[in-house]
Structure 1
Amino acid sequence: MSRLIRRLLVAAAATALAVTVPTLTRTSADAAMTLPPAHAKFDYQIGGAYTPPVGVQVVTRDRTAAPAAGLYNICYVNAFQVQPGEQGQWAADLLLRDASGKLVIDQDWGEALLDLRTADKRNRIAAKVNGWIDGCAAAGYQAIEPDNYDSYTRSKKLLKATHAEAYLTLLATHAHSKNLAIGQKNTVELAGDRRAVGLDFAVAEECGQYDECADYVSAFGNHVIVIEYTDSGRRTACAQYAGTLSIVQRDVDVSVPGDPGYVRKTC
């Protein structure tokens, strides 16, 4: 399950435009969509659900977990890569392969990348992921967090930023049709395109650590959820945005209370 932002050379890829990104058309369904409250107390629980700490208003949990009663719930979906052990659940031609036919793998997390290079493949992949989004809506979630938007930076230059944007637009359109907000996960270099893609808020890992929070705020205003994994990153984010953004520090494994590595700190 991919969590940490990848600091790779993405500027050139982001400008290599080869796919037309469809413009999201807003519908009346968007009127029923509710954004995560800005500057709310937040907890990141994608590694396992547990009773939220006192005062928490917004929680992100994996799509396989039930939402937290009485809170604003964001449903985590690994939308651009395949969870380890789940490759058999995908058609073989939807998994990205290099020139030698080998799967392209995110080495940090052992996840195969999805092949977004053609409109047909994007539509087929979106059909499956939109089914997950339907499940999030049925369970009572209010928003979607599609992870690994930046998978194109790990694709051996086979994918482009515009492939990712075109695909995410399909997910955003579907999420809005279900009255769900949808967030941009990391990928700060594409934040300027968020309106065209149809993204409503941002989930930014380590923007304090890497001095990127201002770029997210420029694109999304105060609708930015900040997740840090180091004390220094949390201190930096808190020094700049404690009064305006939702900020939490978690351990890298996003573990649950009682685990030896569990960490949760706020401003």
Structure 2
Amino acid sequence: MRTRPGTLATLLLAAALLAGCARTEGRTAPPEPADRRWRPAPGLAWQWQLDGRVTPSADVPVYDIDGFENSRDDVARLHRDGRKVICYINVGAWERFRPDQADFPASVLGRTNGWEGERWLDIRRLDVLRPIMERRFDMCREKGFDAVEPDLVEGYGNDTGFPLTAGDQLRFNRMIADLAHRRGLSVGLKNDLPQIPQLLAHFDFAVNEECAQYGECARLTPFIEAGKAVFHVEYKEKNSAFCAESRRLGLSSMRKRLDLDVWRQPC
């Protein structure tokens, strides 16, 4: 059937609007193409500061900063200086001090994780947690971040108050990676060393704490071999105790204080 002048354009516009409304129909848009995402390579120096608004004093190409505490202008300033910026978001625990803390129903809050004002989440409840994490990752994207560091993705190995299994964790972690990729954001696997073989293909880099202290850094080599950066910190070990191995393995390593302020002592 032939159309009147202008009708085809109208139909195309209507189709675009329907696609934009796909989320309300229970559908989600496909992930952004992988080649558009930042793909951090091994060996990049980095700064990790989570104690509030960033202080851009470290001359390094990568900054990992708190997604809530920093603004779009803070991210843009780092970009003007040639930095890539990672959005820290806690996905495995509820935090009393976050502006969206009331979005989490009591049914998904477990035991304390040892940090004041934080409680483990029931990661089996994807129906509850997915929309909350979508909004958080939307925030990261809207502020202009290049990537996400989702924290506490190893609840199954802790006393959370819920009978979490390794399978529960894999489903949750893959969901988290997918949410990031659908927004054009790279995503890092935080710790969770036992599940690296199952998750390597889903994550673009790794973030690790204290693998040297526990003699586990070699377990991160699959990321390096895949051309994916491993951003690593130690808190108690002196640089002389871990930097030689870090350089041999290709890790991006430094020593930090536990409060993750501006101070850093890179390898």
TM-score normalised over the length of structure 2? 0.76
Equivalent residue of 2:222, what SS?
helix
Q: Which residue of 2 aligns with 1:122?
A: 126
Residue 219 of structure 1 deviates from its aligned partner by 4.3
Equivalent residue of 2:245, what SS?
helix
Residue 28 of structure 1 deviates from its aligned partner by 5.7
Checking the alignment, whether the CA contact within 8 Å between 2:223 and 2:229 is kept in structure 1 is no
Residue 52 of structure 1 deviates from its aligned partner by 3.1
Q: Which residue of 1 aligns with 2:214?
A: 210
Residue 110 of structure 1 deviates from its aligned partner by 4.1
Alignment length (residue pairs)? 223
| Residue 93 in structure 1 maps to residue 107 in structure 2 | yes
Amino acid at match of 2:46: F
Q: Which residue of 2 aligns with 1:17?
A: none
Q: Which has the higher helix share?
A: 2
| Residue 247 in structure 1 maps to residue 253 in structure 2 | yes
User: Which moves more between the two structures, 86-95 or 183-192?
Assistant: 86-95
Residue 93 of structure 1 deviates from its aligned partner by 2.1
User: Aligned Cα RMSD in Å?
Assistant: 2.1
| Residue 145 in structure 1 maps to residue 149 in structure 2 | yes
| Residue 84 in structure 1 maps to residue 96 in structure 2 | yes
User: Which moves more between the two structures, 213-222 or 45-54?
Assistant: 213-222
CA distance in 2, matches of 1:160, 1:236: 34
Which of 146, 152, 160 is the aligned partner of 1:155? 160
Checking the alignment, whether the CA contact within 8 Å between 2:31 and 2:183 is kept in structure 1 is no
Residue 180 of structure 1 deviates from its aligned partner by 0.9
Checking the alignment, whether the CA contact within 8 Å between 1:192 and 1:219 is kept in structure 2 is no
Which of 220, 224, 230 is the aligned partner of 1:224? 230
Q: Which residue of 2 aligns with 1:183?
A: 188
- CA separation of 1:220 and 1:154: change in aligned 2, threshold 3 A: farther
Deviations 1:46-104 (A, max 9, x none): 123101312x11010001213223301111000010113455331222223xxxxxxx1
- CA separation of 1:188 and 1:235: change in aligned 2, threshold 3 A: farther
Between 1 and 2, higher relative CO (CA 8 Å, sep ≥ 6) is seen in 1
CA distance in 2, matches of 1:199, 1:123: 22
Residue 264 of structure 1 deviates from its aligned partner by 1.2
Checking the alignment, whether the CA contact within 8 Å between 1:142 and 1:180 is kept in structure 2 is yes
Larger Rg: 2
CA distance in 1, matches of 2:114, 2:179: 30
| Residue 113 in structure 1 maps to residue 123 in structure 2 | no
Q: Which residue of 2 aligns with 1:266?
A: 266
Amino acid at match of 2:155: S
CA distance in 1, matches of 2:42, 2:216: 18
Residue 157 of structure 1 deviates from its aligned partner by 5.6
Amino acid at match of 1:179: G
- CA separation of 1:174 and 1:266: change in aligned 2, threshold 3 A: same
Deviations 1:210-247 (A, max 9, x none): 11111011345352111111243x33331112262211
CA distance in 2, matches of 1:109, 1:164: 24
TM-score normalised over the length of structure 1? 0.76
Residue 156 of structure 1 deviates from its aligned partner by 4.2
Residue 150 of structure 1 deviates from its aligned partner by 1.5
Q: Which runs of 5+ in 2 are unaligned?
A: 1-29
Equivalent residue of 2:63, what SS?
strand
Equivalent residue of 1:154, what SS?
coil
